[in-house]
Amino acid sequence: MNLTTIFRSLGPIDLRSIRRDSLTSWMIFLPVLLALVMRWGVPAITTRLMEQYNFDLVQYYPVLLAYFFVGMCPMVFGAVIGFLLLDEKDDRTLTALQVTPLPLNSYILYRVAVPILLTFGLMFVLFPLANLTPFNLRTVLLTALAAAPMAPMLALMFGSVAQNKVQGFALMKLTGFIFIAPVVAYFAPAGWELAFGIVPTYWPMKVYWLLYEGAANVWLYVVIAFVYQLLVTVYFARRFYKVLHQ
């Protein structure tokens, strides 16, 4: 069974499940809402800070964009897919799936592909929609490549670690530090920044910051970001596979 057939079979089911869930139904719109808030709200705040405190927020736009788009966008889609996995575990849908013609490996591949495609595509919407920095196709393209694997990584982490949606929601809150860590790294003294590289989310944000600054040899960071997150995704995919066979 090819991936296109799987998309046609499971895609409508996922959409219905998301619409019925009060939690995930609004989460999928969160990145776009954040982009609109940043488009209209951040310039006004910037002007106010400059007038009252002589503080230039513009220099920190890359931090804001990296946190809310490069970090939060994959997190949202990862959480949505992760909650779908937990629903299917609770309903024993995944157990029933093992006796259908759909191979389990193909199902996991589908669950990995969907958040990657959603994250990658939405990057080309969020940055121009926020309109805080000039749109640069190369910057968005390489940043999207670096950030896309984060979504399935988080989805499979939720699906393999949490037992239900309550635990999944708690896990989502606990993992907030992996999105704060790269921001802390941005302000860390020279030489200490790479110490945060153990956190997978550091590398996609670092890619964006380097591209924004016009740095050379960014491809190395793109490769590290993509491969590191992919390896973590494979780890959680194997763990998820074991959970299903317990």
Give the pLDDT score at 141: 95
Give the pLDDT score at 206: 95
Pairwise CA distance, residues 152 & 36, whole Å: 25
Give the pLDDT score at 208: 96
Give the pLDDT score at 11: 79
Give pTM, 2 decimals. Answer: 0.90
For the chain, the domain total comes to: 1
What range defines the domain where residue 221 resides? 3-244
Give the pLDDT score at 90: 72
Q: Would you state the structure tokens that stand for residue 69, as one six-digit string?
A: 């788009």
Residue 85 near residue 158 (C-beta atoms within 8 A)? yes
Give the pLDDT score at 101: 66
Low-confidence ranges of the chain (pLDDT < 50): none
Give the pLDDT score at 164: 80
Give the pLDDT score at 217: 83
Residue 140 near residue 148 (C-beta atoms within 8 A)? no
Give the pLDDT score at 86: 85
Give the pLDDT score at 32: 93
Give the pLDDT score at 171: 85
